[in-house]
Amino acid sequence: MKSSVALQIYTGGFGSPAERLNVPSVISKLSRVYQKAHIPCVMIGWNPDAKIREIVDFIKGHGTDVYLWLPVFSGWDGLSPLVGSQGSPVKHDYRAVKGERFDFGCPASPANIRLIKRVFQENYGDAPYDGVFLDKIRFPGFIGGIGSALTCFCPHCRPLHALPGNFGLQNDENPLALTAYDGLRYETSDESVARLFDYKAKAVTASAADLSGHFRALGYKVGLDLFAPFLSWFVGQDYGALAPYADFIKPMFYRRTDAPAGMPFELNAYSSAFGGGRRPAGLRWIHLMKVLRAPAIDVEFINREIAAIRGKIGNTKLYAGIEINSIPKIAPVTEEYIKESITGIKDADGFALSWDLNSTPPENLDAALRYL
Ligand SMILES: [Zn+2]
């Protein structure tokens, strides 16, 4: 039987089209993948003016579902802000590629959920999509330091979780007082941390349930872009709770990406976020690896993560997200890395070859097709 491969095509952000969307080249790459693999779905987004008609027709002609790739709680003007523990809005900005924004709003805010529904209806509601692929359906990680992860204390969120007083964060090596990792979530001995992170997971789940119910009622399927399990707890993504609201999930097992959701980026951000830079951040890395009981974040560790997810997601499909695109410094993806990921990662329902087929070098696509 052919392997299943989901694909992503980045067409640029809202109001900022991708610089070189090469339609003939994308179609030629797609047709090479079709010769080797089954493509259940392609996620395309999210520039509403991108000329994707020919690509969409080609994909649909093969019976593949086309999903709109839609960021949720980041990148939209007018999002109600995230608020930090001191009561002021958390501001951070980071851009890995043109048009992609990481300025998060509050994921629990009913106003923000209404805004996303409206953005969809006004800009994408007439297009022939089969599904909606929800990206950034989460809190930010440590992208803006400690302040962005210890959120949200807006008037909606604060009464639902906050204890009086400030966060302790006394231990420089282990600021969140993590004591154990069970394969999907951490235990912490700090009650204020436990309450906040429990709340974050419940808030994201409630918003995902609302948006998924909305899109399914309109006839769309739903996919979710998720942080790898050992990072998902930090951003409020609970695999078991979220799975019923998705037709498929894509855990981002990005071992090479030095940008948000990439493991090197998120681990460095976690390590650097605390202590005001006074102590070597490496200490926190080392401590986290001890809690994870893993010698390294390698393919073997990823397979452990997949086994933990499997027990929680029922019939929801799991496409393991790996990078095949390549960006100097940000995503230094080699043929050897692709080979290691595709031959080593087991027990997924397929791979999601990310994060953009348009900019994937031909030799990387060759490598993926060779080992599928
Ligand atoms: Zn909030």
| Tens of pLDDT, residues 229-254 | 999 999 999 999 999 999 999 999 99
Rounded distance between C-alpha atoms, residue 300 and residue 344, angstroms: 8
Beta strands in the chain (DSSP E): 5-13, 16-17, 41-46, 65-71, 131-135, 178-181, 186-188, 221-227, 248-252, 317-323, 350-354
Which DSSP state fits 260?
Answer: T
pLDDT tens digits for 25-54? 999 999 999 999 999 999 999 999 999 999
Query: Residues 116-169: pLDDT tens digits?
Result: 999 999 999 888 899 999 999 999 998 878 888 999 999 999 999 988 776 667
280: CA distance to ligand 1 center in Å? Answer: 32
**Domain boundaries defined on the chain:** 5-371
Helix, strand or coil, per DSSP, at residue 202: helix
Cα–Cα nearest to 229, from 290, 285, 308: 308
What would you report as the CA-atom Rg of the chain, rounded to the nearest whole angstrom?
Answer: 20
Distance (angstroms) between ligand 1 centre and the Cα of 245 equals 22
| Cα 106 to averaged position of ligand 1 atoms, centre (Å) | 5
- Alpha-carbon distance 353 to 42, whole Å? 10
So what's the pLDDT on residue 167?
Answer: 67
Q: Please indicate whether residue 2 or residue 156 has the higher confidence score (pLDDT).
A: 156
Backbone angles phi, psi at 147, to 5 degrees: -60, -35
Helices vs. strands in the chain: H and E counts, helices first = 13, 11
Omega before 355 cis (within 30°)? yes
CA distance 19 to 22: 9
Distance in Å, CA 112 to ligand 1 centroid:
10
What spacing in Å lies between the alpha carbon of 321 and ligand 1's midpoint?
29
Please list, in sequence order, all residues whose beta carbon lies within 8 angstroms of the beta carbon of residue 338, skipping any fewer than 6 positions away. 322, 324, 364, 367, 368, 371
More confident residue, 310 or 273: 310
**CATH code of domain 5-371:** 3.20.20.80
